[in-house]
Amino acid sequence: MSMIMSEPVPIQDANTPAGMLEGDLVKRARRGDLAAYDELVQRYQQRIYATVYHMTANHEDANDIAQESFIKAFQALKSFRGGSSFYTWLYRIAVNKTINFLKQRKNKNHFSLNDIDFNAENDPDLVALTSDKTPFRAVGLTELQKKLNEALMKLSEPHRMVVVLHDVQGQSHDEIAEIMDCNIGTVRSRLFYARQQLQGYLAEYAKPA
């Protein structure tokens, strides 16, 4: 009989930054408490980094922009009125920074792609996609990754952002509308158009069922 060993869950003290609610951490960070802000960074670093990375397709650029977004957010904390969640507000800063960066970079795409993790080979969706019955059968995951990133980079920044936030990051239409400061209808239409475009770019591989 095998035993399932689970890692012990650390008990978090509500008085330490790790055990605090987001609102309390934000209040403390506004007063200049860097330990509180460190905790906020740890909570959102992966999501912010991933969004910027998927938009730029470059690890080094994503690292710089993500760090600068957190620094700018700290400097601007005094202007944060709490009208939206800190998370949405932080996302908005990162999104704006990324779009500004991409506009300055224009069409000079320089890929620096991260490796695909080992779990990808066991992902049922990806396994199904690369099985013998699909057009992807002849293409390895690495090649597929390259083609997908090339296709994504052909989209305009707002369209790419919607695809990244919805189809990659799993954000809802409402959240995306709030982050991108537009209405839900715009988010839906951008998503539809972006998917159509992507399907066209990847026509060789992704054919509608």
Partner 1 sequence: MNENDNNFAELKQLLKLKRHEVPPPGYFDHFASDVTSRIRAGEAGGQRTFTERLEAEAPWAVSFLRIFETRPGVIGAFATCVCLLLVSVVVHSSRADKAARLAMSIPSSTSVAGSPMASMTAPALVAASDSSGIVASTNPVTSLEPVSTLFAQPGSGSLFQPAGFGVPAH
Residue 84 binding partner 1, by CB under 8 A = no
Lookup: tokens for 97: 């920074």
Looking at 11, 78, 119, 133, which residue binds partner 1 (CB under 8 A)? 119
Question: Among all chains, which residue has been given the structure tokens 């990051």?
Answer: 169
Q: Residues 90, 48: contact at Cβ < 8 Å?
A: yes
Which residue stretch of 3-11, 44-52, 81-89, 90-98 sits at the interface with partner 1 (rule: CB under 8 A)? 44-52
Closer residue to partner 1, CB minimum distance, 142 or 156: 142
Q: What is the DSSP string of 160-199?
A: HHHHIIIIIT---HHHHHHHHTS-HHHHHHHHHHHHHHHH
Distances (CA, A) of 4 to 1, 9, 11, 56: 10, 15, 21, 40
Give the nearer residue to partner 1 in terms of CB position, either 22 or 38: 38
Which residue ranges make up the site for partner 1 (CB under 8 A)? 34, 37-38, 41-42, 45-46, 49, 53-54, 59, 63, 66-67, 70-71, 74-75, 113-117, 119-120, 123, 125-126, 128-129, 134, 136, 141, 144-145, 148, 163-164, 167-168, 188, 192, 195, 198-199, 202, 205-209
